[in-house]
A = this chain, B = another copy of it.
Amino acid sequence: MTDGQVTRLLNVRPWGGDPVDIHLEAESITRITPHSPDEAVAPADRRGTVDGRGLLALPGFINAHAHIDKSWWGKPWVSYGGETSTQGRIAHERAHRDELGIPGVEPTVEVLRQMLRTGTTAVRTHVDVDTGIGLRGLDVVREAVAAVDGAVEVHIVAFPQDGVLRRPGVLDLLDTAAQQGAQYIGGLDPAGIDRDPVGQLDALFDIAERRGVGIDIHLHDGGELGLFEMELIVDRTRRTGLGGRVNVAHGFAVGQIDTARQADLVASFADAEVSMTTVAPPRVAPLPLRTLRSAQVPVGLGTDGIRDLWSPFGDGDLLTLARQLAQLSGFRRDEELVDAVRVTSTDAASFVGRDVHDLVEGARADIVLVDAENPADALVRAPRRELVIAGGRVVADARVVTG
């Protein structure tokens, strides 16, 4: 990985459009001008000038649902074991994480580096908080982010993976995490795990209101139960005025109902300003992406865990995951394929607290270059990332790192 401030990125095609020169200052894009061949040969300060060779430029990818604190990426292979149910995975993880040094700064840095290599420049990550490790995971993640000089902008969800109400002490941990700068507190299947949907949700919304943080709830509960919990979440979001800061992750139940009920539910999400994140799981009915988009409900795409005690799958590459989302959603037409790229870039701005995330003046200079004709081509081939710029600095360069 190289590291250098970029001041001019010449001859790139944002979203497949005409070639432009992008001018940067510190972390930001300051100006975009039509590509001038003269610019390329100007004698001025060649340091900081990058020749984009006419490559396709996309905004850095935003991973809206990750678990960067508990991966074994970079370590020797760990075979999958334990039971496959959610509770089985929780138990398996708690039994084996210590021997893998989870949570640990080093593997978290490995994950962040892999993300940068594949073009991800901002992440909303859930970080396990429980009575076993307390808030240690939050420190681990912050140290890891510092170790990559903040190249990946990380927003933290203090995540009660082992349950909330059923584990006395966890609510206090979430409260403390919120005080100590976690941007969100998490929840997990209020019915399925805690056996008390109203209880868990009331407790989470209480903390969020008092501490001024958001809420991001893992909701695997399916069918009518999952839907009921979403209605509870919508009600509480309206009542507390937390609109814009509440997210339902997974939300499998939404894919399980008919389109008329989906439309009603999505309308209530839009009205209450509740967003959704998905990890595009291959064996689950997909979220109705078009319905959500046309109702302007923000939808984010995430990797979920990457090589952890939940699953050996995952390589952190959001572009291949966007392709998977497109395939699962039955997308084929150009505008649909571009939408899938937008889900993992421009459209995901709010998941990492940004107003704007795009290749435009004033935005953070997060830029991915690929050798592709247009965004649809980039999506279906998911080619190598030729160059990744995060916050104005080169963080991955395929021409240098060929190993």
Chain A interface residues toward B at CB < 8 A: 76-77, 79-81, 84, 282-283, 307, 311-315, 320, 323-324, 327-328, 330, 332-334, 337, 373-374, 376-377, 380-382, 402
Contact = CB atoms under 8 A, between A and B. Distances in A.
SS of A interface (majority): loop
Contact of A330 (B283, B312, B373, B381): B283
Contacts of A311: 332
Q: List the number of copies, as a whole number.
A: 2
B376 A328 contact: no
A327 B312 contact: no
A381 B118 CA distance: 13
Contacts of A376: 77, 79, 312
Nearest to A81: B333
* 6 pairs of A and B residues whose beta carbons are closest in the complex: A80-B332, A282-B327, A79-B334, A77-B373, A282-B328, A313-B380
A252 to B, nearest CB: 15
28 contacts: A76-B373, A77-B373, A77-B376, A77-B377, A79-B333, A80-B332, A81-B333, A84-B332, A282-B282, A282-B324, A282-B327, A282-B328, A283-B327, A283-B328, A283-B330, A307-B380, A311-B332, A312-B332, A312-B337, A312-B376, A312-B380, A313-B323, A313-B332, A313-B380, A314-B380, A315-B381, A324-B324, A402-B402
A17 B101 CA distance: 27
A307 B312 CA distance: 30
Contacts of A283: 327-328, 330
Contacts of A377: 77
A313 B382 CA distance: 11
Contact of A313 (B79, B312, B327, B402): B327
Given A282-B328, A313-B327, A324-B282, A333 B380 contact: no
Contacts of A77: 373-374, 376-377
A334 B312 CA distance: 9
A84 B376 CA distance: 18
Given A282-B282, A313-B323, 16 more contacts: A76-B373, A77-B373, A77-B377, A79-B333, A79-B334, A79-B376, A84-B332, A282-B324, A282-B327, A311-B332, A312-B337, A312-B380, A314-B380, A315-B380, A324-B324, A402-B402
Contacts of A334: 79-80
A307 B373 CA distance: 14
Contacts of A80: 332-334
